Amino acid sequence: MMAKGELTEKQEAFARAYFEHGNAAEAYRTAYDVEPNARDSWIYVEACQLLDNPKVSLRLADLRKQAERLSIFTRQKAMDELEEARVLAHAESQPSAAVSATSAKIKLAGFDRPSKVALTDPDGNAVGAREMTLGEAARVMLFALRAGKEESGGGS
């Protein structure tokens, strides 16, 4: 039997995974062995409920304190250093260095990894979903906007 105030094994696994990469949905998928076809909306709700759980919140705070005490190089420290580098690159008029720092932040945040994106027709009706990175999704949207502009006679 679990002592009062202790996390379950899965809650502990969730807290550690979330602390490691900062993605609650991914931490939930990992800790709770979620089926690959599980609805994302359900996973988001479950992950948010875990983050709101006082025991889990206390464990995350404890992990942060341990990391600071042990001077572990955390994801947040890396983000902070990359942001400092990006700001300095702008101040020194070094755009390629600023782009490099921004690219590194994107990779660290996981925005370069594919995620499920809902696709709709011009009327907003769902036509499917596709795995793509944030950058790919932005290019698809830009292409669609340009195509719509040209069709309406507003092209350059």
Domain ranges of the chain: 9-70, 75-109, 115-151
| 46 close to 27: Cβ distance less than 8 angstroms | no
DSSP state of 128: E
Quick: pLDDT tens for 24-72. Answer: 999 999 999 899 899 999 999 999 999 999 999 999 999 988 887 776 6
Q: What is the mean pLDDT of the chain?
A: 83
pLDDT number for residue 1: 44
CATH code of the region 9-70: 1.10.10
